[in-house]
Every structure is written in structure tokens, then in C-alpha cells.
Amino acid sequence: MIIPQVLLIDDQYSTDPGLRQSFLENSGGYNAQDQDAGSISATVAISFCSGQRRENEEVVNDYHAIYQVISTPSPDGSNWAIVFLDVRFDSGRLDEFGLPQGREGDDYFGEEVRKRLALDFPKLPVVMLTSKKQTELHDRDTPYLSKAGLSPREMVLCMLRHGRLNNEQRRLLLGLGPDAVANSLDIFQIFSGALAVANSPMPVLLLGESGTGKEVVARYIHDHSQRKERPFVAVNVAAIPEDLVEVELFGHDRGAYTGAEQRRPGRFRQADGGTLFLDEIGDMPAAAQAKVLRTLQEGEVLPIGGNSPVKVDVRVIAATSRNLGAMQASGKFREDLIRRISGVVFTLPPLRDRPDDIGPLAEMFLQRYSRQMSKEGISFGDGSINLLMAHPYVGNVGELQNIIQGVVSQKGNYSIISCADIEVALRGSFVSSVTAAPIPAEVDSSSVPAINGLDDLAQMIKSFQVSIDDPLLKGGKALIERACNSLLIRVAGACLERFRDPRNGSLNRQAAMQFFTGVENLKGKGPGRVINELFGRKADTAVTDDDIEILVQEWSIHAGRSNNGTKGGNE
């Protein structure tokens, strides 16, 4: 079964039908013993155990009864995902109303049970569910959920934090849509955190390389917030000409400037009551930064040419692939705006660091482009997904998307995407053409930062011997290609750094790519095509300054590690 199976050990919920039904409604679960209840919309199936037994006119707290229930598979035959355990259990002789009068040890029987469960079932997650405050527990560090104010959202978040779940159950609890692919623990944690803050009014800052899925997370936050019925407005700041950013965000009144014949509300007012997603906020001009800061502080916008500010109720989610801290230090981004937009910060890992997501993403893109191109029955063949997983994806999810789109466009109905198809899409002739190009003789290769070992590397590769029965041969092709591509990216970054102007920090792309490829007449669109090949993108894709910095960063990161290692060895 997909729905997680929960065991609630509580003397009152187990014996009082009214309290039990109230708990089910508040937690968003259904009674697992009710065969007809599973058809309702629910995220957890709950079984109840009193943790007690009846002896004549007396109620006795009974750990053995709890042990027996936990030792038995859940109603659907799976393992228990989690156990919720009350602290106080009322036992003793029954009074005239049929209620136990209490005994010494009742107040903390649940905590004694938790200690014994930790010994008998060490892998079973146990959460104390109680009316007591957490500060009243003997062990305040134990996982805890309050009965007061319990809601389906609180139950889901507790399950995500502490439950023993598979990925299918995590997706169910998170309510992930078809575009929100998650298969790695890192991404599940991102979405869990996003769900936890969704109903908060605090601004959110999403960090990560281009193409890591920041807008998907932003939409998820909006869709799971109290603003979900109001607009979600996305603005790519980097795509707006600098002199139009303020008009785009704040709008203008009629006659504000020549050509302003109609009033324009601006994106803040379009998002009123909802969410405004400011993508690539690191590219925002200084003047616009000041106005955004004032809008966030005062909750109002002043249109260009306007005299009266207009109140707006907007939750801002910002995203950037830039280092805002470094930009603030260099005077390019306001420190007070950074503080204002970073109420909650999530950093999305690059795709190369979460290979478990590559397969599901590839399947999603395969289905999407098959529908768009009216093709049927195309599937991945043996080994093709493994080959995709071995690629470094400097362009992240966007690069994978382009790869799958290109492959699907060349396949017919009910065909299989083979490893050869993937190899062509990933590599083309780029590796062979670049690696075959010699470094010009007049260039002293030792002057290139951190790559003076390439000659030695080439000789080592030439002399490398492989036994025909070597078990490491399996999958060797994909691993070698991945290493080659990673090396090419670092070499390209080193070449770019070599041609950085020390006066203003600018990079000469053309000279760097001529040096990198050894092709002196590489001009015009040629350098951009080479860089796009590195990123696995279409040849005519616009190359941005961020792309260049990513390449340089890849070199600098690995060069730094290499230098540190060498220094340590010498000492």
C-alpha cells in the first residue's frame, strides 16, 4: 500500500469513539480498521491501541499488549511507518462511572514504554503525542507532537521528519505534482522545508545554480499556502532590460513618460494577495533594489509617474544563482535587501549531486515531449538511464531537458532510446574534436593555472593497461566520458581565468576559447558554440556571464583542492 500505516497508542482514543473520530479529522487520517474509510482523501492510515488490558473491575497498563501489536504487521501487511505514543495512561480500579481511578506511575507510563520500545524495536520511529508541554517530559529531546492544535499539515510534517517512509509515501505526503520530481533525500528535504513554511508570511530565498528547479519549488510553496487561490506571478529579472525593470515591477500611470498612453499596474500589483517570484534577483539594478526594499518594508508600491502609493499584500519568493554575499561586499547588492528577502533560505543542490533524480526526470521529460510531438510508445533501453546518470550536467535540469527533447525528436513511435542515442546527444563530436586539438607550440602550457599536468595525464592514459577480464570494465565507457567532460569543463574554466583582465575582472571569451580549442580563427558565434557544447545545450543558446562564472568556479574549486593537497604533501 502507498498510504503510510500509523499506530497510535493512547488509552482514551482507543476506547472513546467520539475522541477517536475527532482525532482522525484533526490529523487528516482514516481508521485503518474501517474497510470503507480508505476511499476518502487521506494521507495516513491510523490503527489504535490502548496499551492496557481489563482484569475484572480493573484496568492495567500492559507493555506486553503493545509489544504484541507492534510485532504484528499493520492492516495492509507493511511495517509500521511510525508510532505515536501518549505519555499519561489512566489505570486502576473502575469507579461508579466506569473510569479508572489512577495508579502511581500512570503519569509517565508512556515514557517508560518508549524506552522499552527503543530496546525491542530500535529502528521503529516513536513520537510522543501528548497534551503535556514538551518541557514537562523527562526526555525533552524525544520527538514530540502536541495534541493541542493538531492539524493535517502538522501530522504530515511530523511524518516527513520522523517516519519510516519510502519515496512513494513521501511524494504522497508532500502532495507533489507531476512537475515536482523528487527521488533523492536532498530534494525531499527541500520540499519538506518548503511545506513547513508555506503558510508563513515570511519571504523565501532560493539559492542554487541555474536550472536546479528553483521556480518549481517557488510554485510548490505558493500552491500549498493560504494564497494558493490568488495569483502566482513569476518575473525573470535577468531577462528585463535594465531601464525597464522598475516599470515592469511597479507599473506606471498614464502619461508617466512619452508613450505611456495606458496605465500599467506592474507585477507587484498583479500579484496582490498572492505570490511574486523574483527569479535571478541578483541581476536587479541598484535603483530597483531600493524600491523593492521600500515595498517590502511598507507594503505599498508607487507607480512610475504616480503621486499616491498603492497598498499591496504580496509574499515575495526570490531566487538567484549568484553569490549575494560577494555582491554585497563589492557594493553590487544591498545588504538590507538581502536581510529582507532571506527570511527562510533553501539551497538547491545541482543535478550532478543528486543522480537519483536523473532517471525520474528523464522519464518525465520523455512523456512530456512525446505528448508534444504526438509520438507514442517511446521508451528507454537497457543502460540508457545509467548513461544519463553518469553525465555531470553543468546546465542542471535544463540541460537534461534539452537532451531528452533532442532525442525524442529523432525517434519514431514505439522505438527504444538506446545507449548510442544517448551518447550522440551527450557527446556529439565535441570530446574528440577538442581533445584532438594540440596546444599551440608557442604557448607555455605551464602558464595555464592548475593544468600543467595535462601532458603527464596524456602519457599516463596512453600507457594505461586494461585486462580483458577486469571486472571494472563494466560501465567503463560512461565513467571515462564523464571524467573527460568534467576535465574539459575545468580546463575551459582555467583558460577563461587565464584571459581575465586584472584591471576590471572582465573575461575575454574569444581569446580563451581560441586557446582552449587551439583554433585561432574561432570567432563570431564560435566561442559561444564551444561553451554551449560544454553545457550540453543548443548551439545558438545565449551564453550569459553566469555561465562563464560557473566554468571558472568549476576550475577554481578543483584547483583549490589540488593545491591544498599538494601543499599538505610537501609539508
> Average pLDDT of the chain?
85
pLDDT tier at 437, thresholds 50, 70, 90 = very low
Within a domain: residue 179?
A: no
Structural domain count, the chain: 4
Q: Are 118 and 126 in contact (CB under 8 A)?
A: yes
**Same domain (yes/no): 422, 523:** no
Q: Are 42 and 4 in contact (CB under 8 A)?
A: no
Q: How many angstroms separate the CA atoms of 86 and 9, rounded? A: 6
Cα separations in angstroms, 38 against 3, 28, 30, 504 = 9, 12, 7, 65
What domain range includes position 396?
352-426
Last residue of a domain, one of 349, 367, 394: 349
Predicted pLDDT at 429? 27
Question: Which residue has cell 548551439?
Answer: 539
More confident residue, 269 or 535: 269
Last residue of a domain, one of 398, 426, 454: 426
Predicted pLDDT at 76? 86
Predicted pLDDT at 464? 59
Supply 360's cell numbers: 525520474
Nearest CA-CA partner of 361 in 489, 226, 241, 212: 212
Supply 186's cell numbers: 536532498
Q: How many angstroms separate the CA atoms of 106 and 113, rounded? A: 11
pLDDT tier at 77, thresholds 50, 70, 90 = confident
- How many other C-beta atoms lie within 10 A of the C-beta of residue 486? 16
Predicted pLDDT at 519? 81
More confident residue, 461 or 48: 48
Nearest CA-CA partner of 319 in 278, 284, 289: 278
- How many other C-beta atoms lie within 10 A of the C-beta of residue 514? 21
**Same domain (yes/no): 336, 380:** no
**Same domain (yes/no): 193, 165:** no
Within a domain: residue 158?
A: yes
Q: What percent of the chain has pLDDT over 70?
A: 85
Q: Given a cut of 90, is residue 188 above it in pLDDT?
A: yes
**Same domain (yes/no): 325, 389:** no
Nearest CA-CA partner of 303 in 234, 236, 257, 235: 257
More confident residue, 504 or 280: 280
Within a domain: residue 24?
A: yes
Encode 364-402: b = buried (16+ Cβ within 10 Å), e = exposed: bbbebbbeeeebeebebeeebbbbbbbbbbbbbbbbbbb
Predicted pLDDT at 484? 81
Classify 47 as helix, strand or coil: strand
Predicted pLDDT at 430? 37
**Same domain (yes/no): 69, 92:** yes
Within a domain: residue 223?
A: yes
**Same domain (yes/no): 191, 319:** yes
Predicted pLDDT at 446? 37
Neighbouring C-alpha atoms within 13 Å toward the C-beta of 323? 8
More confident residue, 468 or 173: 173
Within a domain: residue 377?
A: yes
Give mean pLDDT, residues 30-40: 68
Last residue of a domain, one of 396, 426, 456: 426
**Same domain (yes/no): 195, 141:** no
Q: What is the CATH number of the domain that holds 264?
A: 3.40.50.300
Within a domain: residue 335?
A: yes
Q: Given a cut of 80, is residue 121 above it in pLDDT?
A: yes
Within a domain: residue 420?
A: yes
pLDDT tier at 40, thresholds 50, 70, 90 = low
Q: How many angstroms separate the CA atoms of 312 and 190, rounded? A: 29
**Same domain (yes/no): 75, 14:** yes
Predicted pLDDT at 212? 93
End-to-end CA separation in angstroms for the chain: 58
- How many other C-beta atoms lie within 10 A of the C-beta of residue 204? 25
Helices (H), 183-260: 185-197, 214-223, 245-250
Q: What is the CATH number of the domain that holds 62?
A: 3.40.50.2300
Q: Are 402 and 366 in contact (CB under 8 A)?
A: no
**Same domain (yes/no): 129, 12:** yes
Q: How many angstroms separate the CA atoms of 474 and 496, rounded? A: 35
Q: Given a cut of 70, is residue 559 above it in pLDDT?
A: no
Cα separations in angstroms, 277 against 14, 135, 207, 294, 505 = 46, 39, 13, 17, 31
Q: What is the CATH number of the domain that holds 411?
A: 1.10.8.60
Q: Given a cut of 80, is residue 481 above it in pLDDT?
A: no
Angle at 21 between CA 67 and CA 58, to 5 degrees: 50
One-letter amino acid for residue 373 of the chain: M
Cα separations in angstroms, 186 against 57, 97, 183, 496, 533 = 53, 53, 9, 32, 28
Report the residue count for the chain: 571
**Same domain (yes/no): 99, 79:** yes
**Same domain (yes/no): 226, 116:** no
pTM of the predicted model, to two decimals? 0.74
Q: Given a cut of 70, is residue 438 above it in pLDDT?
A: no
Q: Is 100 left (phi over 0), alpha (psi -120 to 50) or beta?
A: beta
Sheet holding 232-236, edge to edge: 232-236, 275-279, 315-320, 204-207, 344-347
Within a domain: residue 458?
A: yes
Condensed to tens digits (0 to 9), the pLDDT of residues 230-245 reads 999 999 999 999 988 9
**Same domain (yes/no): 382, 453:** no
